[in-house]
Structure 1
Amino acid sequence: MSRNSRADIVVVAVEAGLLAAAIGVGAVLNARGVRLWADAAPLFAVWRPHAGWGTPLAVALAALVVWRGPALARRAPWPWLLAAGYAGTVGWILSLAMVDGWSGGLAQRLTPQAEYLTEVPRITDVATMLAGFTDRIVDFQAGSWSTHTAGHPPGALLAFVWLDRAGLGGGGAAALACVLVGATATVSVPAALRWLGDEGAARAVVPFLVLFPGAVWVGASADGLFAGVVAGGLALLAAPRWWCWPLAGLALGFALYLSYGFVLVGPLALAVVALRRRHRVAALTTAGAAVLGVAVAFTAAGFRWWDGYRLVVERYYQGWAADRPYGYWVWANLAALLLCAGPVLGPALRRTLAEGRGAVRWLPVAAGAAVLAADLSGLSKAEVERIWLPFALWLLVATAALPAARRRAWLLAQAAVALAVNHLVWTWW
């Protein structure tokens, strides 16, 4: 056994220890009445072993990707690879969701009182909504927004309002929109890598993006949609054609109005610009101007991002965050991230830090820096398995540093984790 293989085993053992500790300590704290507000900590879920008609579909798709995925990724013509990757990702997300059934897995995921869809029928005037958005963020007052609406800038609610106005209202359509947009990350991430000059890495990561364990939460949560928007914006920022850069800025600018936490996409965007071979200044200034344009538009409409952020911190501590102990979640969050990104995360990061170069090293480093900043802030206590989806996808770029001979085994491990999570617990997203 080589030194690298032994090191990978050590890293996996550390991952297993972290996960076991998070589950064990979480169970003890829950039994003692500590308000973790997560029955299956470190996941926001409850223990409920179950299966559904999506089970055989998910197992079959996982087996197919493990068997043929790496070879297809190496040899398929580029457009066909991206098309197959996108189709496979949609199939993987939907098959996992169908383990819980159409209603439980998709149609009713976005309809609870805390979600955005409860507010959509009440929005009769978008201009009025934007102008008065911050007035309704703080809880325990007449007209306070639902939990998720209050916890995000108005772009998140706007996305579902626009969907409804397009005739695609209701939980089923909203869930499918999250799935279809979220799955585009399997196109965007490899496209960015290829545009940054590393087609080999771009091809290598596709199967890992298809069998992304975080697909459990992409289908369906609004964070799946957010992940697709962020990935698309970063890919366009890497593109060689100038007309892509303002589109990148519009996507990344709008992302700032989907989640306050997306200020942490900044390190990823700067890494993409730094890794470009040409036109770094032009891409940065053009995209930056578009981001500024989005901010000016929202501000002119009456929503001031900085006021919203200040008030959402107040709202955050009016709810469960006031009870959830920082001392547990600051490290248990990393176990939740591990279940989202999969067991390949540790070995892949170890290898890319030791041996990787270019985008394969610096994009995961930037994503990791964003995650650590979010974790230490205390504003991400629990539920990070969905909140950090946009960053987990870029952490998986590190899988390009894995030896080709081991990729099937790692893909099998990734699929096993996703299937175990989806069948052992009932997630709320």
Structure 2
Amino acid sequence: MTATDTRAPAAAAPDAGRGTRPGWIAVAVWAAGIAAVFTVGWYLRRAGLATEDALPPLHARARSHPLTWRMAPAIVAAAALVAVLPWAASRLRWRTLLPAAWAGAALWAVALAACDGWGALARPLDAPTEYPAGLAQVRPDPLEWLRTFTERLGGYTTHVRGHPPLPTLALFALEKAGLPGTGWAAAFVIASGASAVAAIAVTLRCVAGERAARAAVPFLVLAPLALWVATAMDAFFLAVAAWGTALAAVAARRAGPVSAAVAAVAGGVLLGSLPYLSYGLLPLFAVPLAVLLLSRPRPRVLACLVAGLVVVPAAFTLLGFWWPDGVRATLDTYLVSRGSAQRSYAYFLFGDLAVLGLLTGPAVAYALPRAAGALWRAARTRALSPAAAVALPACAALLGVVVLDLSGVTKGEVERIWVPFAAWLVAAASLRAAGPVPGAGSRWWLAAQAATALAVQALVLSPW
């Protein structure tokens, strides 16, 4: 495929004017699919066939009294962001827009979580099943803990034994840096997760042009997945993947050999850490591969990226943690557990996709036919438009979700597991409309995105 010049800030707006009927059909399917999955889940639970979750397909429960006045700060934040984001995305300087988007995403996540009180920001990490509860076993000798991680796996907390060692070690490092406790851990997770908005915008600017990247920023900030940025560790995984991909894209664009090499190695180190954060992140490599396909880096940049990729696996192997053994041990504990392994494969095959729909919102559903059309035209004409360059990473993330869903490993609890994948899909929401990019028409879809998050927050009580 021959790419057109997608790097100039004046790149054409994402494909528009192709008709709105497919988009509205997709929104109808989105809404009907979510309603059907929750209805079936209610029936299965009432029949005693799905008892692992109180509100399948979510690992959550319905609120007995939906939130009312306590939602006011989140509603105000949503209204302000809907009003300001399109203007900011089109008017602010790029270097100003990125930290502003980061701050906006953090504000949105915090405003949603604070509906349950400020203590709700750290409360998910206070659970005895979470990573901080396992730090006591790390403190005496972190190297010994790492060497014996696999053989002692059964004695760890649920999330520690369900993941490789790196998430726990990251919180241990935060503690050693003088920031102990779940309050600092929550701040770290929220700040890092919100920063992914800037990372994805940087990536899109490299592969699709600045105009397309600016169009995506408001949707990235107001994504419904912010519900689980505060506070699930998967938001940190999202940040690592997003910044690794962004650095790889920047390296492909840099003319200076030294700066390109540094960016490539740094990006490789971050991407190489993904399998050591979560075993389920392997399919997410489809996204950086799509970005590399779009950016076509020089051979020396690829060599530096590969050199960075092997750093974390080599370090963990030398320190005594053999990744395949970790996979096998975690799978064994998963199969003997009475949790997600007991859930219905057939139900969650569809239920997990419905949860993805909640994380991404109706604007993404509306845009998906346009994204598919942009990719189809790019394949047919062998000319890459900005819209196709936005759509390809989004479709790569969707492919990763489908692979995990079909595998049956992710049966339930995917509202947090899908976060690193869903953010890339949200970027495709910018492909949904004709007219200026970003323009006033985007505010209606931003409002729909915010309303989705507010509705879930009001009606659902999640442990994350």
1:113 counterpart (124, 128, 152): 128
User: Which segment drifts farther, 118-127 or 418-427?
Assistant: 118-127
Letter in structure 2 aligned against 1:61: A
Q: Secondary structure at the match of 2:19?
A: helix
After superposition, give the CA deviation of every residue in 1:3-45 in whole Å (9 maximum; x if it has no partner): 7222221111111111111110000011111235221122111
Partner residue, 1:359: 389
| C-alpha distance in 1 between matches for 2:22 and 2:368 | 12
After superposition, give the CA deviation of every residue in 1:257-299 in whole Å (9 maximum; x if it has no partner): 11011211221111111111542x3333211221112101100
Partner residue, 1:145: 156
After superposition, give the CA deviation of every residue in 1:386-417 in whole Å (9 maximum; x if it has no partner): 10111101112212312245311111110001
| C-alpha distance in 1 between matches for 2:281 and 2:308 | 16
User: Which segment drifts farther, 300-309 or 263-272?
Assistant: 263-272
Partner residue, 1:314: 332
After superposition, give the CA deviation of every residue in 1:315-348 in whole Å (9 maximum; x if it has no partner): 1122212320001000110111111111122221
| C-alpha distance in 1 between matches for 2:345 and 2:356 | 16
CA contact 1:53–1:98 (8 Å) conserved in 2: no
2:455 counterpart (420, 426, 429): 420
CA contact 1:250–1:290 (8 Å) conserved in 2: yes
2:284 corresponds to 1:265: yes
Once the two structures are superposed, the pairs formed by residues 2-81 of structure 1 within 5 Å of their partners are 4-48=19-63, 49-51=65-67, 55-81=71-97
Letter in structure 1 aligned against 2:370: R
Once the two structures are superposed, the pairs formed by residues 237-316 of structure 1 within 5 Å of their partners are 237-239=248-250, 240=254, 241-279=260-298, 281-316=299-334
Q: CA deviation at 1:197?
A: 4.3
RMSD value over aligned CA atoms?
A: 1.6
Q: CA deviation at 1:370?
A: 0.5
CA contact 1:349–1:364 (8 Å) conserved in 2: no
User: Which segment drifts farther, 22-31 or 160-169?
Assistant: 160-169
| C-alpha distance in 2 between matches for 1:361 and 1:197 | 10
Q: Secondary structure at the match of 1:64?
A: helix
Partner residue, 2:369: 350
CA contact 1:42–1:332 (8 Å) conserved in 2: yes
Partner residue, 1:341: 360
Letter in structure 1 aligned against 2:350: W
CA contact 2:371–2:431 (8 Å) conserved in 1: yes
CA contact 2:137–2:145 (8 Å) conserved in 1: no
Q: Structure 1 residues 114, 197: closer, same or farther in 2, change over 3 A?
A: same
| C-alpha distance in 2 between matches for 1:348 and 1:34 | 36
Partner residue, 1:86: 102
| C-alpha distance in 2 between matches for 1:265 and 1:286 | 20
CA contact 2:217–2:427 (8 Å) conserved in 1: no
CA contact 1:273–1:283 (8 Å) conserved in 2: no
Letter in structure 1 aligned against 2:322: R
Letter in structure 1 aligned against 2:450: A
Q: Secondary structure at the match of 1:264?
A: helix
Letter in structure 1 aligned against 2:402: L
CA contact 1:52–1:99 (8 Å) conserved in 2: no
Letter in structure 2 aligned against 1:112: A
Letter in structure 1 aligned against 2:219: F
Partner residue, 2:414: 384
Indicate the percent of aligned positions where both proteins have the same amino acid: 39
After superposition, give the CA deviation of every residue in 1:111-154 in whole Å (9 maximum; x if it has no partner): 211111111122121110110000122x4xxxx11110001000
1:232 counterpart (240, 243, 249): 243
CA contact 1:268–1:366 (8 Å) conserved in 2: yes
Q: Secondary structure at the match of 1:183?
A: helix
CA contact 2:131–2:168 (8 Å) conserved in 1: yes
| C-alpha distance in 1 between matches for 2:300 and 2:350 | 40
| C-alpha distance in 1 between matches for 2:431 and 2:148 | 49
**Relative contact order higher in (CA < 8 Å, ≥ 6 apart):** 2
| C-alpha distance in 2 between matches for 1:3 and 1:278 | 32
Letter in structure 1 aligned against 2:104: G
Q: CA deviation at 1:52?
A: 7.4
Q: Secondary structure at the match of 2:461?
A: strand
| C-alpha distance in 2 between matches for 1:106 and 1:52 | 19
Partner residue, 1:407: 442
| C-alpha distance in 2 between matches for 1:270 and 1:169 | 36
Q: Secondary structure at the match of 1:72?
A: helix
User: Which segment drifts farther, 394-403 or 224-233?
Assistant: 394-403
| C-alpha distance in 2 between matches for 1:197 and 1:30 | 46
CA contact 1:12–1:346 (8 Å) conserved in 2: yes
Partner residue, 1:173: 184
Letter in structure 1 aligned against 2:187: L
TM-score (norm 2): 0.88
| C-alpha distance in 1 between matches for 2:443 and 2:288 | 31
Q: CA deviation at 1:95?
A: 0.6
TM-score (norm 1): 0.95
Q: Structure 1 residues 101, 284: closer, same or farther in 2, change over 3 A?
A: same
User: Which segment drifts farther, 24-33 or 355-364?
Assistant: 355-364
Q: CA deviation at 1:53?
A: 7.3
CA contact 1:36–1:325 (8 Å) conserved in 2: no
Aligned residues: 421
Q: Structure 1 residues 36, 378: closer, same or farther in 2, change over 3 A?
A: farther
Letter in structure 2 aligned against 1:424: L
| C-alpha distance in 2 between matches for 1:386 and 1:153 | 16
